[in-house]
Amino acid sequence: MKKILIAGAAGFIGSHLCDFFIKKGYQVIGLDNLSTGRIENIAHLINNYNFSFLNQDINNLNVIEEKLDFILHFASPASPIDFRLKPFEILNCGSVGTQNLFDLALKNDALILLASSSEVYGNPLQHPQTEEYIGNVNSFGERSVYDESKRFSESLAYAHIRYKNCNVRIARIFNTYGPRMRINDGRAVPNFINQLISNKDFTVYGNGNQTRSFCYINDLVDGIYKLLLSKYNKPINLGNPNEISINELVIKIKNLAKNNLKIIYKKLPADDPIMRKPNIEKANNILNWRPIIKLEDGLKKTYNYMIKENNA
């Protein structure tokens, strides 16, 4: 039985990965310090014989004796509100934490997969973004703690592949959404759904013409799995190329339930990207992967989950 360590296991993406690998018959060790994650996200796995949980900080990792085959690094605060609330933790997760997990991978001769981000492209001047695009990133600003932590992690990955013969996979993940996102974590989809559920007007930052491309969690997990099993060790975009403006997103979310809510426009935060759309040709050709879940369907599932959570 293959053993996989999932760092960030109690978070949004990490918890879905735990479910997925348990279903696939892996032995899963979930590791998390519960900084932005919730134990409720993995509570249903705690009594599973093939699952164990380590409450640990990747920046201060204790010795892990178990022999690992795979390591997934999904441990980092990731939502825009955390850029202000947890800047040092983010920087550490992308540097000290990443190094600690690479050391663990080397010790075990394990394959390590890194959750990088479309944020490595910054406010992109190339559209859509291909993996070759080197980005337009501000190294000194509110977003920089996150953007540069991901870029530094990728550099660590490069050095470990090149000079330490480490087996690495790098997923450049674009906006992903779905059940188990924190309702108040400030990202667009949970934010608007939260406003809908609590009957508060929608707040849009900027004029709402900025674009994003939203990928449903199940599609992303499928892509991560295909990447893990591939032999491809360069960064690869995983995201949904279906690009929409924030204004269009609000309308779709508004249409999920009867309401008279208005849209209130507020000042755009510094360095907020104007457009985001992945070119996924590589993922398509190399991994035979493309997202299949329609935005309307994914939003409905997320809305239903959040309604249930709200009433729990």
Ligand X SMILES: NC(=O)c1ccc[n+]([C@@H]2O[C@H](COP(=O)([O-])OP(=O)(O)OC[C@H]3O[C@@H](n4cnc5c(N)ncnc54)[C@H](O)[C@@H]3O)[C@@H](O)[C@H]2O)c1
Map the footprint of ligand X across residues 53-72, applying CB under 6 A: 57-59
Which tokens is 183 given? Answer: 């309702």
Q: Which of these ranges, 63-71, 155-163, 169-177, 286-294, lies near ligand X under the rule CB under 6 A?
A: 169-177
**Near ligand X by CB under 6 A: residue from 5, 91, 115, 228:** 115
173 binds ligand X (CB under 6 A): yes
Using rule CB under 6 A, residue 14 touches ligand X: yes
Stretch that binds ligand X, among 2-10, 104-112, 196-204, 223-231 (CB under 6 A): 2-10
- Which residue lies nearer to ligand X by CB, 177 or 303? 177
Report in angstroms how near the CB of residue 198 gets to ligand X at its nearest: 21
| DSSP string for 180-237 | TS-TTS--HHHHHHHHHHTT--EEEETTS--EEE-EEHHHHHHHHHHHHHS---SEEE
Cα atoms found within 13 Å of the Cα of residue 272, Cβ hemisphere only? 20
Q: Of 6-14, 198-206, 240-248, 264-272, which part binds ligand X (CB under 6 A)?
A: 6-14
Q: Which is nearer to ligand X, 114 or 267 (CB)?
A: 114
Indicate which single residue of 11, 80, 179, 278 sits in contact with ligand X (rule: CB under 6 A): 11
Position 78 contacts ligand X (CB under 6 A)? yes
Smallest distance from ligand X to CB 302, Å? 12
In one letter, which amino acid is 277? K
The one among 4, 5, 10, 42 contacting ligand X by CB under 6 A: 10
Ranges within 117-156 binding ligand X (CB under 6 A): 117
**Residue 173 φ/ψ, nearest 5 degrees:** -90, 130
* 257-262: long-range pairs with CB below 8 Å, 24+: 257/196, 257/303, 259/196, 259/199, 261/195, 261/196, 261/199, 261/200, 261/201, 261/202, 262/201, 262/202
Cα–Cα distance measured from residue 82 to residue 143, given in angstroms and rounded to the nearest whole number: 10
CB-nearer residue toward ligand X: 27 or 117? 117
Residue the block writes with tokens 């441990």: 75
171 beta partners: 115, 236
Q: Which residue of the set 49, 121, 133, 146 is catalytic?
A: 146
Known active-site residue 232? no
For 222, 240, 253, 272, the CA distances from 171, given in Å and listed in that order, are 12, 13, 28, 21
Q: Any contact of residue 113 with ligand X (CB under 6 A)?
A: no
Would strands 243-245 and 211-213 be described as parallel, antiparallel, or unpaired?
Answer: antiparallel
191 is a contact residue toward ligand X (CB under 6 A): no
To the nearest whole angstrom, how small is the minimum distance from the Cβ of residue 99 to ligand X? 13
Stretch that binds ligand X, among 30-38, 123-131, 252-260, 304-312 (CB under 6 A): 30-38
Which among 68, 72, 79, 120 is positioned nearest to 278, based on CA atoms?
A: 120
Question: Which tokens in the block code for residue 7?
Answer: 């760092």
- Contacting residues toward ligand X, per CB under 6 A: 7-8, 10-14, 32-37, 57-59, 74-78, 89, 93, 97, 115, 117, 173, 175-176
State the catalytic residues: 146
